[in-house]
Structure 1
Amino acid sequence: MTTAAITGVTARAVVTPMKRPLRNAFGIIDAGPLVLIDVATDQGVTGHSYLFAYTRLALKPLVHLVEDIGRELTGKALAPVDLMKVMDAKFRLLGWQGLVGMAVSGLDMAFWDALGQLAGKPVVELLGGSARPIPAYDSYGVLDAKADERTLHAARDEHGFRAIKTKGGHGDLATDAAMIKGLRGLLGPDIALMLDFNQSLDPAEATRRIAVLADYDLTWIEEPVPQENLSGHAAVRERSEIPIQAGENWWFPRGFAEAIAAGASDFIMPDLMKVGGITGWLNVAGQADAASIPMSSHILPEASAHVLAVTPTAHWLEVLDFAGAILTHPLQVIDGKVTAKGPGLGLAWNESAVAKYQVT
């Protein structure tokens, strides 16, 4: 069988609508700035992936980076591990962090998607596993038990979610405690509840707040302090009665090796667009297995369902849907779980919707 070769890479920027704004400690996300990546091959298959850019300001630079890197890779064999080595050599002196790391990760996901399409299989099967339902949690911004009661009941009753995540750090300790107390009262004891501080606290304040919130049976506290402060994470973890979750902003496998060595968290949650795509994820999954650390995903639920299915310590899949408006087959949550779809990553663009939301 002849190995497919890359014949071209294109990227497009879109800004998708969200069902509800997402408020966190630093502001409000009210739309989904995405970069759609297409990797064409000489065998008539085009691999797809997308990146969440966080801000519209990053869209144009990401589009240019993806396409410029793609030009450097044109003509090369569609072999993700080999291509990752090529990109590592190209950017080793510059470093992986930031937009370069996101572009590399997005390209890697598109490479795997193309391989899956060529094989007529979902990526999870290429990785040696099989598609299975992955427990998912519904991810929100700041919640209010009274104002959001109908929304949360629908998440439970219509989609079967057995876990909910909210944001904190937008106010003082009393604000966080009132929110969590209200949510626990509304959800009852059988729904897992997670709280994300989005790096908004220092270690001392995080420790103080967690001590008060420990009464509400939280599944985890996420990113209580700045992500690069590994010693701060470790200090908070040492004093916390609630497990500490982190990792969405740790870059590539090396970042996780350093964090695990530092004892920075009880759980980890790589982001596919920062960990090196599927190729990078597999490396981190091995680290998590060796260290017996439960591993969850961060955004990108369609692709995450594939890799979590082959992750030995798979924990939770995050559902935060930025791409549904531009997908031919939007994400499905059934009985609170997500199952990987194929072929490839199961991504296909709804081109009329892409045209509607595309920005230049």
Structure 2
Amino acid sequence: MKITAVESIPFAIPYNKPLRFASGEVHTAEHVLVRVTTDDGVVGVAEAPPRPFTYGETQRGIVAIIETIFAPQVIGLSLLEREQVRGRLARTMGNPTAKSAIDMAIWDALGKTLDLPVTELLGGFTDRMRVSHMLGFDQPAAMVAEAEKITDTYGIRTFKVKVGRRPAQLDTAVVRALRERFGDTIELYVDGNRGWTASESARAMREMADLDLLFAEELNPADDVLSRRWLVGQLDVPFIADESAPTPADVTREVLGGSATAVSIKTARTGFTDSRRVHHLAEGLGLEVVMGNQIDGQIGTACAVAFGSAFELTSRRAGELSNFLDMSDDLLATPLQITGGELAVSDRPGLGIEIDEERLTRYRLDN
């Protein structure tokens, strides 16, 4: 079970329409496929989705850091030496999705080697998760129409609404339109991507006080420390730390400092090894948890549902597992299927996914 190779393959797949939110917009999934190969010939895979406007990573940067620094550090280690891998990668600052993709590809290879699904190696709590769908910036009628389509086609009944525009009424009107259209048949929460100030956030939340929101996520910048604590004290719904809490240490700081009361776990930025640390920390602190999405493709989504379904806490709420629906294509030989508002976990070894080599050849950028 020795690691003999680590590959980083850049690829690009257009979105059907641009995804717009307060911290930027995305027109194409410019991701990196990471493959870990062992001396037994087993190949594990994962996906690194760079978000330069959030974490500073780029597609070229991920490829370069893996090829020049990370791959030489982990080649020769065993699939069981995941803490050794973590320690070696941690010597280099930043690069969360590059590190996480290597970690998850190792878990995938380990599952395949042991002939066990990764979700069972992690915890095996359930075999499926309810799905939450993200609605990006648009006019109220267009966002309601998208929610209707998603509900009718996939049975999804939980929606995360991107907010953070100015004036805030652009967004509060959308949330109100969704509630008026669907009543109490759907769950709603909002994500500001740090777009508003604390006072703008408080006013917007007061305007939506009658809309029965589940959560508010990252409404204002985390480094506005005093205002953030003040805002959290104004709210009667859990305040999710997302971009502000990418590591277990950040989660501790945000929660104990009074700047958040819930946490988003994104396997794309903490892999499986550090996501377990965040999960156990959240469990010990009594926090609510949402499985977040880094605008992952189907590979990343398979990782997220494998982890989320492994634990009772992470499977309690609908996970953000549908962003791949906005992509014009993907790399999997057998696409993921959302049915009845749920995404089932594969019972095959590892992550239970297989790369379509023809599609990879079509979309890869290093040919």
Partner of 1:335: 340
Deviation at 1:294, TM superposition (A): 1.5
Deviation at 1:143, TM superposition (A): 4.1
- Cα distance change on mapping 1:113 and 1:131 into 2, 3 Å: farther
Deviation at 1:85, TM superposition (A): 2.2
- The residue type equivalent to 2:306 in the other structure is H
Partner of 1:166: 161
| 1:245 maps onto 2:275 in alignment | no
| 1:303 maps onto 2:303 in alignment | yes
Say whether the 8 Å CA contact 2:217–2:242 is kept in structure 1.
no
Deviation at 1:231, TM superposition (A): 4.6
Partner of 1:283: 277
- Cα distance change on mapping 1:171 and 1:289 into 2, 3 Å: same
Partner of 2:297: none
- The residue type equivalent to 1:347 in the other structure is I
Q: Which structure 2 segments of 5+ residues have no match?
A: 294-299
Say whether the 8 Å CA contact 1:13–1:34 is kept in structure 2.
yes
- The residue type equivalent to 1:13 in the other structure is P
Deviation at 1:230, TM superposition (A): 5.1
Find the aligned partners of 1:208 and 1:304 in 2 and give their Cα distance.
33
Partner of 1:193: 188
- The residue type equivalent to 2:285 in the other structure is A
Q: Per-residue displacement from partner, 1:279-310 (whole Å, max 9, x unpaired)?
A: 00111111111111111112232111121123
Name the SS for the 1:31 alignment partner.
strand
- Cα distance change on mapping 1:317 and 1:54 into 2, 3 Å: same
Deviation at 1:48, TM superposition (A): 0.3
Q: Per-residue displacement from partner, 1:177-216 (whole Å, max 9, x unpaired)?
A: 2222112112222201121111112222211221112122
Deviation at 1:52, TM superposition (A): 1.0
Partner of 1:70: 71
Aligned residue among 257, 264, 267 for 1:269 = 264
Partner of 1:352: 358
- Cα distance change on mapping 1:344 and 1:131 into 2, 3 Å: farther
Partner of 2:204: 209
Deviation at 1:317, TM superposition (A): 0.8
Name the SS for the 1:180 alignment partner.
helix
Aligned residue among 157, 169, 184 for 2:179 = 184
- After the TM superposition, which of the residue ranges 280-289 and 230-239 deviates more from structure 2? 230-239
Scaled by the length of structure 1, what TM-score is found?
A: 0.90
- Cα distance change on mapping 1:153 and 1:260 into 2, 3 Å: same
- Cα distance change on mapping 1:346 and 1:228 into 2, 3 Å: farther
Aligned residue among 140, 157, 163 for 2:152 = 157
Name the SS for the 2:269 alignment partner.
coil
- Cα distance change on mapping 1:105 and 1:229 into 2, 3 Å: farther
Deviation at 1:46, TM superposition (A): 0.7
- Cα distance change on mapping 1:31 and 1:261 into 2, 3 Å: same
Find the aligned partners of 1:85 and 1:140 in 2 and give their Cα distance.
37
Say whether the 8 Å CA contact 1:211–1:241 is kept in structure 2.
no
Find the aligned partners of 1:241 and 1:128 in 2 and give their Cα distance.
32
Find the aligned partners of 2:307 and 2:6 in 1 and give their Cα distance.
24
Deviation at 1:67, TM superposition (A): 2.1
Find the aligned partners of 2:181 and 2:116 in 1 and give their Cα distance.
42
Partner of 1:316: 318
- The residue type equivalent to 1:316 in the other structure is A
- The residue type equivalent to 2:249 in the other structure is R
Runs of 4+ residues deviating >3 angstroms: 227-233
Say whether the 8 Å CA contact 1:247–1:256 is kept in structure 2.
no
Partner of 1:255: 250
Q: Per-residue displacement from partner, 1:217-254 (whole Å, max 9, x unpaired)?
A: 22111111124445543321110133312224422222
Find the aligned partners of 1:63 and 1:263 in 2 and give their Cα distance.
37
Q: Which structure 1 segments of 5+ residues have no match?
A: none
Name the SS for the 2:89 alignment partner.
helix
Say whether the 8 Å CA contact 2:244–2:250 is kept in structure 1.
no
Say whether the 8 Å CA contact 1:13–1:35 is kept in structure 2.
yes
Partner of 2:29: 32
- The residue type equivalent to 1:44 in the other structure is G
User: Aligned-pair RMSD on alpha carbons?
Assistant: 2.1
**Sequence identity (%):** 24
Scaled by the length of structure 2, what TM-score is found?
A: 0.89
Find the aligned partners of 1:73 and 1:331 in 2 and give their Cα distance.
30
Find the aligned partners of 1:161 and 1:21 in 2 and give their Cα distance.
21
Find the aligned partners of 2:352 and 2:249 in 1 and give their Cα distance.
29
